[in-house]
Amino acid sequence: MTHDMWAFEKEARLNGFDAVAGIDEAGRGPLAGPVVSAAVILPDPLPVFGIRDSKKISPKKREKLFDEILRHAIAVGVGIVGPVDIDRLNILQASLLSMAISVQNLDSVPDFLLIDGTFSISFDLPQKAVPKGDSLSISIAAASIVAKVTRDRIMEKYAKEYPEFDFSKHKGYPTKAHKEAIHKHGISPIHRLSFKGVKEYCR
């Protein structure tokens, strides 16, 4: 039996909540660039099909769904925390901060939050952490797509600024090619200095 991707949203509505926002982040693992979160409030019914965990969708399909989510969502907010703050706070705290910022940036105020993962965020609203939420909740899955596409586009811009690192290919993740580029060229201003694979090159 297939899982009902609306189950968490329906449960929240049965408990009296109307505006349920799903929240997810992209970019915890890379050696460079920001961590990006999105918060999405979806209408029900939703005339968009194929929304699921962004990691299970091709880049082309993600781009298409990104546009459709933006067109049909009640509200979309994005939160971005850059490498300097990632180094200052640590990646977990930076991720949670980016999630809180994404909720703050919603045009429409939610009354309940569904958050991917096991942590709640520093926001004075009823909320539920959902492990593997991007595979279980339609709102979190939509947020995962918005966060991933937004971050990928940021890294594609950085690829033009720092062509020697080829950020458009690996998006800052620690691939063999990326590690070799760091070894050859040193680090760029968008590298995360506290991360293994980067800090060894800090002088």
Q: 67-101 pLDDT, tens per residue?
A: 999 999 999 999 999 999 999 999 999 999 999 99
Q: How many distinct structural domains can be found in the chain? A: 1
**What pLDDT does residue 40 have?**
98
38 burial class (0-12, 13-18, 19+ CB within 10 angstroms)?
buried
Rounded Cα–Cα distance for residues 172 and 66 (Å): 21
Asked if 102 contacts 39 with a C-beta cutoff of 8 angstroms, the reply is yes
Is it true that the peptide bond before 189 is cis, omega within 30 degrees of 0?
Answer: no
pLDDT digits (tens, 9 = 90+) for 143-201: 999 999 999 999 999 999 999 999 999 999 999 999 999 999 999 999 999 999 999 99
**What pLDDT does residue 3 have?**
84
Residue 164 lies in a domain: no
Asked if 79 contacts 97 with a C-beta cutoff of 8 angstroms, the reply is yes
Residue 191 lies in a domain: no
Residue 45 lies in domain: 7-155
Residue 66 lies in a domain: yes
Q: What is the CATH number of the domain that holds 73?
A: 3.30.420.10
Amino acid letter for position 123: F
What token pair was written down for 172? 């800052």
Residue 188 lies in a domain: no
Residue 26 lies in a domain: yes
- Strands 127-130, 112-116: pairing is parallel
Rounded Cα–Cα distance for residues 78 and 162 (Å): 24
* pLDDT higher than 70, residue 1: no
Rounded Cα–Cα distance for residues 81 and 38 (Å): 12
Residue 194 lies in a domain: no
| DSSP E strand boundaries for the chain | 20-26, 35-41, 75-81, 112-116, 127-130
Identify the band that residue 15 occupies on the pLDDT scale cut at 50, 70 and 90: very high
Global confidence as pTM: 0.97
To the nearest whole number, what is the mean pLDDT of the chain? 96
